[in-house]
Copies of this chain bind each other. A is one copy, B any other.
Amino acid sequence: MKASPLSAPTLVETVAASITERIAGRHLMPGARLPSVRAFAEAMGVSKSTVVEAYDRLGAEGAIVARRGSGFYVAGKTRPLCLKTVGPQLDRAVDPLWITRQSMQAGPDLVMPGSGWLPAAWMPDAAIRRGLRQLARGGEANLVAHDQPLGFPPLRAQIARRLAEKGVEAGADQVVLVDSATQAVDLLCRFLLEPGDAVLLDDPCYFNYHALLRAHRARIVGVPLTRSGPDLAALDALMAEHRPRFYLINSALQNPTGSTLAPATAHRVLKLAEAHDTLIIEDDIFGDFEVEPSPRLAGFDGLERVIQVGSFSKTLSAAVRCGFVALREDWVEPLIDLKLAMSLGNSHLSASLMHGLLTDGTYRRHLGEVREKLARAMAPALRRLEACGLTAWLEPAGGFFLWMRLPAGVDSADVARRALARGLVLAPGGAFSPSSLGDSFLRFNVAQCTDPRMIPMLEAALAECAASAAP
């Protein structure tokens, strides 16, 4: 339980927090009986009703259980890890995990400018069906057995060729296939992190990084972002103070801001990483939406200190899971051991399907079309949002995200909650930023901003916020 950052903790919160701390510190063990309400009220110098309310809250959270006629007990060990209780608790309308779920469960009745995905109609459905027919016809020798531990060699070779086009020199044997970029980052967390290790994340950044790193019990340290990459003075100081294990970054078309690392910044980031002996994981998930490839940290560095991950979920299909890790040669073997221990292997079906789409021209053609559509969608979306009183932090060079500042005094969680009640799913800034910065931003997906219902719904939600804030 965490007090709201906007106000001093109440007495109930203070009492509940003192019990939570004693459970976390193992001073109160699972199964232990809590003091009676009266005894505890006397000991803490508070009223019995305050203790009752604190016990009720802890009961609702599952931290303690009431047994009829015998008092309250610390919950037993049968209680599993609950991500929601590891970090600060968010209400569902601004909880990053919940936003992911909404995006996945959306029906046609919801308008989804908060989505992190292109509309299904923009994805190459026909090409995927053609690819499946190709596999079925016998173009593919193996549809029943595991692949090599690294994954399907022709796809690894093709990915290595594509990396070279972006200036990243990697042999096919430095490319390890997994089932998604998320799984790639997860695998690398296991490879590199001890519980309690510090990890640097851009503030703001992709919300699932927070959830994933919380699951690894990492200590998350936010790096302030400028329009050309991280604030270098801050990065230097944070690396010195926290000695982070790695810095997880989108160099190209950052999520949620759409910013891209400037070449000089990339150079300086690498110098700092070297000076402080910090690794870099470069998640290039949006990189293929760039019109002109920007510098990659993995390219400058030659995969010495940088590990790159990527996938085709955003570009080809999220229903076909296929991602990769490109890393230094001497780390391939131990990473493979870990990959096998955790999953036995990636999907060969997905890998051969993706290989077909990458080599028959589908991928290049599709990317060209999507980049053009995105370029056409960006300016009108921006104009319409600005007409609602929002301002762009940056006009991105490509991709599909706009990081929009709300009118003064409007809280992003508040507007997201009110919009949701109307069927408009927004992505409130707080999900991307643990600092107060995010409270005044929303992330928009320009490809999902074409629905004519969006602007009226957004305007209504904003008007409601303004009305409730008025004296």
Nearest-CB residue, chain B, relative to A307: B80
Nearest-CB residue, chain B, relative to A144: B123
> How many interface residues does chain A have, given as a range?
35 or more
Interface flag for A279 (CB, 8 Å): yes
A interface residues with partner B (beta carbon < 8 Å): 31, 76-78, 80-84, 97, 100-101, 103-105, 117, 120, 123-125, 128-130, 132-133, 135-138, 142-149, 179-180, 182-183, 186, 190-192, 195, 208, 211-212, 214-215, 243, 245, 277, 279, 305, 313, 316-321, 331, 334-338, 340-350, 353
Picked from B123, B129, B183, B321, the residue with its CB within 8 Å of the CB of A136 is B129
Interface of A is mostly: helix
Residues of B close to A347: CB separation below 8 A? 179, 319-321, 347, 350
Q: Tell me whether A349 and B136 are in contact (CB under 8 A).
A: no
Q: Tell me whether B346 and A321 are in contact (CB under 8 A).
A: yes
In whole angstroms, what is the CA distance A192 to B77 when docked? 9
Residues of B close to A342: CB separation below 8 A? 182-183, 186, 212, 215
Q: Tell me whether B190 and A97 are in contact (CB under 8 A).
A: no
Residues of B close to A148: CB separation below 8 A? 104-105
The 4 closest A-B pairs by CB, nearest first: A123-B144, A319-B348, A211-B341, A132-B136
In whole angstroms, what is the CA distance A53 to B137 when docked? 59
Residues of B close to A149: CB separation below 8 A? 100-101, 104-105
In whole angstroms, what is the CA distance A135 to B129 when docked? 7
Q: Tell me whether A117 and B97 are in contact (CB under 8 A).
A: no
Q: List 15 A-B contacts (CB under 8 A).
A: A77-B245, A84-B334, A97-B341, A104-B149, A117-B145, A129-B138, A143-B319, A179-B343, A182-B341, A182-B342, A182-B344, A211-B341, A212-B341, A215-B338, A349-B350
Residues of B close to A80: CB separation below 8 A? 191-192, 331, 334-335
Picked from B212, B215, B319, the residue with its CB within 8 Å of the CB of A147 is B319
16 additional A-B pairs beyond A132-B133, A318-B344, beta carbons within 8 Å, are: A80-B192, A82-B337, A97-B340, A104-B146, A104-B345, A120-B144, A120-B145, A132-B135, A142-B319, A145-B318, A208-B344, A212-B341, A318-B345, A320-B347, A321-B345, A321-B350
